[in-house]
Amino acid sequence: MRTICIFRDNQDYTRTVTDWLENFYRQTGKKIETMDPDENTGFCTTYDIVEYPTIVAIDDSGKLVAIWRGRNLPLINEVNYYTM
């Protein structure tokens, strides 16, 4: 299972996202993969990602299992479930 946070750097929400990612790591000991949408347009098109930040959980076969969109980031426990 892959859990990925897609967001653009140097935006007004960037600090919130990086703080959330650091907090996630502190609480769980796990890192979430990050991705720049401008460098991964094919990935974003495949999973219909058009709003940033977006966090996705994808199973081993590439099927989208969960998605969280927008500036209201999910609870750490919600995302941690998909990193086990």
pLDDT digits (tens, 9 = 90+) for 36-50: 999 999 999 999 999
The domains of the chain are located at: 2-83
Q: Which pLDDT score, from 0 to 100, does residue 6 have?
A: 97
Residue ranges for the chain with pLDDT beneath 50: none
What gap in Å lies between CA 19 and CA 24, rounded to an integer?
A: 9
CATH of domain 2-83: 3.40.30.10
**Angle, vertex CA 60, rays to CA 71 and CA 56, nearest 5:** 5
Give the percent of the chain with pLDDT over 70: 100
| Direct distance between the N- and C-terminal alpha carbons of the chain, in angstroms, rounded to an integer | 8
Q: Which pLDDT score, from 0 to 100, does residue 84 have?
A: 80
